[in-house]
Amino acid sequence: MTVSKSLTSYLLLVGACQIIVGVLALYWALPLFGDPPFLGNGLVKEYIPIRAALSDNASLREALPALRSKLEWLFARHTEGVLVAMFLGATSLALGVISVLIGIRPHVAMVNRRDE
C-alpha cells in the first residue's frame, strides 16, 4: 500500500491544526468552568444584602427579582457555553491526535519496509 507524501503531509497538517484548536479551546474554557461556582455563589450572597438595603424603595425592590432571574438565565447559558466549548476542544484535540497518528503510520511502515 503506497500513500502519497502529500496525503501524509495533509493529515499531519490537519492533525496539528486540530490539536492547536483543541488546546486553545480548552485553555479558554477551563478557567471559565472553574469560575461559575464563585460567580453563582457571589450573585446569591450579594443579592440578599442589596435587597435588605433597598427595603425602603419599593420600585427598586420590585425590580430585583427580575434582575435575579435574568442573571440566573445568563449564568445557565454561560455554563452551557463553557461545557460545549470544553467538549468541542477535547474532541478536536482527540481527532487531531488521531489524524497525526494516521499521518505518521504510513511513514513508519515505509521506514520499517526499508529496513527489511
The more confident residue out of 63 and 111 is 63
Separation in Å, CA 40 to CA 35, 86, 113: 9, 19, 60
Q: Give me the pLDDT at residue 94, please.
A: 94
Buried b (16+ CB within 10 A) or exposed e, 18-45: bbebbeebbeebeebeeeeeeebeeeee
Q: Sign of dihedral through CA atoms 28, 29, 31, 37?
A: positive
pLDDT at residue number 1 = 47
pLDDT confidence of residue 54: 75
The model's confidence at residue 38, banded by pLDDT at 50, 70 and 90, is low
pLDDT > 70? residue 3: no
Phi, psi of 4 (to 5 degrees): -70, 150
Given a cut of 60, whether residue 2 has pLDDT beyond it is no
Could you give the 3-state DSSP secondary structure of residue 40?
Answer: helix
Which of 95, 99, 97, 77 has its CA nearest to residue 87? 95
CA distance 84 to 89: 8
Q: Return the higher-pLDDT residue of 108 and 29.
A: 29
pTM for the whole thing? 0.65
- Between 8-12, 63-67, 77-81, 90-94, the lowest mean confidence (pLDDT) is in 63-67
User: Quick check: 44 pLDDT over 70?
Assistant: no
What are the start-end ranges of the H helices in the chain? Answer: 5-34, 36-53, 58-115
Give pLDDT, residue 36. Answer: 59
List the domain boundaries for the chain. 5-115
